[in-house]
Amino acid sequence: MSQAWLPDYIYTEGRFRSGLALVADGAGKIVELSENAPGATRLAGRAMLPGLINAHSHAFQRIIRGRTEYRSQNATDSFWTWREQMYAAATQLSPDEIYNVSRIAFLEMAKTGITAVGEFHYLHHSPDGSPYSDRNQLGHEVIRAANDVGIRIALLRVAYARSGFNTAPNPRQVRFIENSPDTYIAHLDLLLNSINTKDGMIWAGVAPHSVRAVPLDYLKQIIAFANERELPVHMHVAEQPAEVDACIEEYGRSPVALLDTEGLLSDRFTAVHAIHVTPKAIAALARSGAGVCACPTTERNLGDGVVPTDLYFKSNVPVSLGTDSQIQIDLLEDARELEYHMRLKKMERNVLAPENETGASALATKLFECATVNGAKAIGFDGGQLEAGAPADFFTVDLNDISIAGASTDELLANIVFSLSRTAIRDVVVNGKQLKLT
C-alpha cells in the first residue's frame, strides 16, 4: 500500500523544492516526488531531508558517557588512558545490558535524524573470554536493539587477534579476541546466514580492528573473504601516532602504506579516523577509491587530533561521519566540526568550501553529503538521497524552530548544517515507517 507525505520543502537534487509530496510504496521505496498526491499526509511548517547515515558507532560505549571526564592518576590523560576505562566497562556488560545500552544509543540516533548505522562491533565473548553457544549472541543483541528502534544497521563484525606488536596480552580484551582468521570467518559466516537481508534493514561487513590488533596474514585472509562476498570493509587507521610508529616498527611502513602495497585498499574500504597521514598516504587512498570516516566529536574528546579533511576533499576522497564513542550523538554537529576544526587549525574561514561555487549553501551541501550519501556508500547502502527508487528514509525539521527560524530557501541548508538544534527534528521515517521516538 502506497503512502505519501507533503512537507513545505523537500531536499532533493541538491536543493529545497516546494509543492512536492514524497510517495512511497509498501516495500518502503520512493516511487516518485509528485506535485499531485491526493491524500498525502500534510507536514505543515516542515522541511524534509534524507536520513543521516552514521558510518561508525560503538553503541555500548554510550554507557561510559560522562564517566571519563576527570583527571586520572596518570601523569597525562590520553586516548590510551581513556581506553583502559572503556575496557573496564566492556568487561562487565551482560547480553541484556548490551541490548539496553545499544537501544538507548540507537534511539538517540533516531531522535537526531540518523536512519542507518554502521556498528563497529567487537564484543563477542562472555566477560571471562569463553564463547557463547551462539557465537554471535552479542551481535544479535545489538541488531535486535536497532530493529526495535527501527533504524537500519550494518553490523561491521570486528576482527581482533592481539593487543599489539610485541605487546603482552591485555586481560581486558578477552571479549574481543578471535585468534585465527579461520575462526573469525566461520563466525562471520554464521552471522551472514542468520540475518534476513531481504528488506535491507540488516546486513553485515568485515571490520579488522586495526593493524595493531590484526597481523598482516590474518588481515589478508579476512579482506579476501570480504572482497569475495562484496562486503564493506572498515578499519581504524592512523588514529594515534603510536599506532603509526608501531606499524613502521613491525612492517617498515605506515598503516596506509602497508594497506596500499599489500593491495588491501578498494572502493569498499573505509579508513576510520585516518588522522596521522602523509600526502602520499592520501594519494594512495584516492587511487584505490577508498573512503575515510571522520568522527570529529569523539576525536576532539579523546585528543586524537584533526582529520585533514581539506586534503581529502582536494583529492576527492569521500569523507563520511561517525559518532564513535557516543560522547555526543549529533551527526550535524560532526558535519560542522569538519569545517570548524579546519578553521581553528588554519585560522581561516570556509576552508572546505568548493573553490568554484558560490552561494550560502555550497559549503553546507558538501558537509551534508558527508552525513548522507558518503555515509551510505561507506556502509554499503543505496541511500542518503530522496529520489525515485531510493529508500523512503527521511527526517523533517520544524521551520519555526528558533534555531533556524527566518531562513530563506537559499540559506536553509546552511542554517540546518551550521545552526540546527536537535530539538528542531520532528518526524523520522525509515523504510516508509514512522518511528516512535520514545
* Active-site residue list: 273, 324
Q: How far apart are the first and last CA of the chain?
A: 26
Q: How many CB atoms lie within 10 A of CB 156?
A: 29
Contact between 261 and 225 under an 8 Å Cβ cutoff? The reply is no
Element (H, E) at 12: strand 3-12
CA atoms of 202 and 147, how far apart (whole Å): 8
Contact between 298 and 325 under an 8 Å Cβ cutoff? The reply is yes
Joined together, the cell numbers standing for residue 174 give: 578477552
Q: Is 137 helix (H, G, I), strand (E, B) or coil?
A: helix
Joined together, the cell numbers standing for residue 164 give: 599489539
Scored b (16 or more CB within 10 A) or e, 222-235 reads bbebbbeeebbbbb
| Torsion (CA) 300, 304, 309, 311 in degrees, nearest 10 | 150
Contact between 413 and 13 under an 8 Å Cβ cutoff? The reply is no
CA atoms of 32 and 316, how far apart (whole Å): 31
Element (H, E) at 202: strand 202-208
